[in-house]
Amino acid sequence: MKAEKDKVVAVAYTLKVDDGESGQELFETVSEESPFYFLFGHQNVLPKFEEALAGKEVGETFSVFIDFENGYGDYDDSKKVIIPKANFKEEGKKNRDLLKVGSVIPMQDDKGNQMRGEITKVDYLGVHMDFNPPLAGYDLYFEGKVMAIREAEQVEIEHGHVHGPDGHHHH
Ligand SMILES: [Zn+2]
């Protein structure tokens, strides 16, 4: 079976990243023991990543370089904002625990788009948040191996995403 649209593909890989200044650094390792499963052909992964896997069979290796423009885009300073602390209060006391450097918080912009922001600082000005994707501005180097391929369940194709290794995860 080959990796192609409407197949569930499991891959193990390492991802090295390079911001153009400090050289390559290891960002992520996905082991062969617990590979990453995704539904091929449904925009769940970067298009270039999928291109590199297209037609591969179980046991085959792949390596792909994706420059930042084809990855997560350039780093955008305008996506760094300061939000008044008061904006975090309405949902109750518990949110205080979230106001820590490093916390990633899902929010909506004024057009209703979902976005995730990381808190980079909290000071008298408010909560400093960065809405850039974590890998914005980085070139990406993937090296990996196809671990498994199976037919997707109909419900997975309808939802556009994988429901776990055996396809029977309900949500
Ligand atoms: Zn689903």
Residue 93's pLDDT is what? 60
pLDDT above 70 for 170: no
Residue 171 included in any domain: no
**Tokens, residue 31:** 């082991």
Residue 119 alpha carbon to ligand 1 centre in Å:
29
pLDDT above 90 for 164: no
Residue 2 included in any domain: no
Task: Dihedral sign for Cα 106, 36, 140, 50, please.
Answer: negative
Residue 152's pLDDT is what? 96
Question: Are 84 and 116 contained in the same domain?
Answer: yes
Using alpha carbons, select from 50, 53, 49 the residue that is nearest to residue 65. Answer: 49
Question: Tens of pLDDT along 30-44?
Answer: 999 999 999 999 999
3-state secondary structure 13-36: EEEEEECCCCCCEEEEEECCCCCE
Residue 104's domain is classified under what CATH number? 2.40.10
Question: Are 12 and 58 contained in the same domain?
Answer: yes
Question: Are 97 and 55 contained in the same domain?
Answer: no
Q: Tell me the residue range of the domain where 28 lies.
A: 7-72+135-159
Question: Are 106 and 66 contained in the same domain?
Answer: no
Residue 151 included in any domain: yes
Question: Tens of pLDDT along 81-112?
Answer: 999 988 877 555 656 667 889 999 888 878 88
Question: Are 124 and 141 contained in the same domain?
Answer: no
- Side-chain-facing half-sphere of 79: CA atoms under 13 Å: 16
Q: What is the mean pLDDT of residues 162-171?
A: 76
pLDDT above 80 for 5: yes
Question: Are 68 and 145 contained in the same domain?
Answer: yes
Using alpha carbons, select from 97, 87, 3 the residue that is nearest to residue 41. Answer: 3
Residue 92's pLDDT is what? 56
Question: Are 145 and 107 contained in the same domain?
Answer: no
Contact 12, 21 (CB under 8 A): no
pLDDT above 80 for 14: yes
Residue 164 included in any domain: no
d(CA 83, CA 86): 8
Residue 122 alpha carbon to ligand 1 centre in Å:
36
Residue 160 alpha carbon to ligand 1 centre in Å:
7
Residue 23 alpha carbon to ligand 1 centre in Å:
38
Residue 126 alpha carbon to ligand 1 centre in Å:
37
Q: Structural domain tally of the chain?
A: 2
